[in-house]
Amino acid sequence: MAGSMKQIVKVCFPLAKQVTDRFHVQKLASEAVQEVRIKYRWKSIDKENRAIAEAKTLGKTYKEEMLSNSDTVRQLLARSRYLLFKSPDKWTVKQKERSKILFDLYPKIKTAYQLSNQLRIIYNSSIEKGVAMTKLAQWYNEVENSNFKSFKSIMNTISLNYKTILNYFDDRSTNAAAESFNAKIKAFRSRFRGVKNVEFFLFRLTNIYA
């Protein structure tokens, strides 16, 4: 989505149809959910530290409150990190139990997760470009009504890149193949601890992978 990359494509491949990779859009949504979780985690740490200090002042031993799944609130917020990246159908039994407790205690995290998951569902559904545009517009309105500051960057991203984001639904193309090839190049380069002669390096890449 970088402006410089768009300009490179426009100059080098003027007839190409640009597509914003779904991974980068979904990543923004996932990071927004994590931001909400982290805010609550810091609050729980501060609350716990104050309770420990107060117990010491009174000459008592501080005992952490245990939840029904044997997590403390602090542990719950820390251990919920990975389940918030997944769709509900991929949760383990423990993650389902943990998510229920988490969402009951923190409804805002639940709302943020649902917004992120809705975006995932839009991408995973086999829908036409016009339908996708309608669904993204509806999702955009839900995000706007939620008043989540952490989702503002996603709203701006969709507004600025909606054409290339919607282009994904024409052929459902991603840059997975390019990323895979890039990983091979990096591994090839690191094996020889860097590259001094770029021209010869490109020649070798051509012979191996072309």
pTM, two decimals, is: 0.80
Q: Is residue 190 part of a domain?
A: no
Give the structural domain span for 34: 22-171
- Percent above pLDDT 90 for the chain: 35
CA distance linking residue 184 with residue 181, whole number of Å: 5
Tens digits of per-residue pLDDT, 110-168? Answer: 999 999 999 999 998 878 888 988 998 898 888 888 878 778 778 888 888 888 899 99
**Whole-angstrom distance, CA of residue 109 vs CA of residue 103:** 6
| Residue 193 in domain | no
Number of domains the chain contains: 1
Position 135, amino acid: K
Q: How confident is the model at residue 106 (pLDDT cuts 50, 70, 90)?
A: very high
182 found inside a domain: no
Average pLDDT of the segment spanning 45-49 = 91
The amino acid present at 122, given as its one-letter code, is I
Distances (CA, A) of 11 to 58, 131, 163: 71, 31, 18
Residue 58: inside a domain: yes
List the structure tokens of 98: 């943990």
| Span 48-73, pLDDT tens digits | 899 889 888 888 888 888 899 889 99
Mean of the pLDDT values across residues 195-202? 84
Inside any domain, residue 69:
yes
Tokens linked to 176: 């997975």
Sheet strands (E) in 30-111: none
Higher-pLDDT residue of 101 and 189 is 101
By the 8 A CB rule, do 19 and 173 touch?
A: yes
pLDDT tier for residue 84 given thresholds of 50, 70 and 90: very high
Catalogue the long-range contacts made by 117-124 (C-beta closer than 8 Å, 24 or more residues apart). 117/87, 117/88, 118/142, 119/25, 119/26, 119/29, 120/26, 120/29, 120/87, 123/22, 123/25, 123/26, 123/168
Contacts of 65 (CB under 8 A, 6+ apart): 72, 73
194 is a domain residue: no
Phi-psi region of 66 (alpha: psi -120 to 50; beta: other; left: phi over 0): beta
Residue 9 lies in a domain: no
Residue 16 is given by DSSP the state P
Arithmetic mean of pLDDT, 168-187: 84
CB atoms within 10 A of CB 147: 8
Residue 101 inside a domain? The answer is: yes
